[in-house]
Amino acid sequence: MKADIHPKYQAAEIRCACGNVIKTRSTRPEIIVGICNMCHPFYTGQQKFVDTAGRVDKFQQRLAKTKAAQEAFRAKKKKA
């Protein structure tokens, strides 16, 4: 191993936006994250299920409008 090319491995703190502090070791002295295991919905059990059927319906409505617009454009192009 070459000498003096590796960064220093030191004690570090990982700070979350919720206030949770995790002590570990890293090449950086402080790491700030937006979400951790203490506030993430998957780990806390407060998951919200999204209405996927509503999303599918909205997508199909937009798709139908797009297809109608494309057909109108093709019909207009054939007349010209």
| Structural domain spans, the chain | 1-47, 49-80
Q: Determine if the pTM surpasses 0.95.
A: no
| Region at 3 (left for phi over 0; alpha for psi -120 to 50; beta for the rest) | beta
Q: Where are the beta strands (DSSP E) in the chain?
A: 10-16, 21-26, 30-33
Specify the pLDDT at position 54. Answer: 78
Specify the pLDDT at position 11. Answer: 96
* Angstrom distance (rounded) from CA 63 to CA 71: 12
pLDDT, one tens digit per residue, over 28-77 is 999 998 888 888 877 777 766 666 667 888 888 888 988 888 888 888 87
- Looking at 4.10.80.400, 3.30.56.10, 3.50.30.60, 1.10.10.10, the CATH number of the domain 1-47 comes to 4.10.80.400
- The backbone torsions φ and ψ at residue 41, rounded to the nearest 5 degrees and listed phi first, read -60, -30
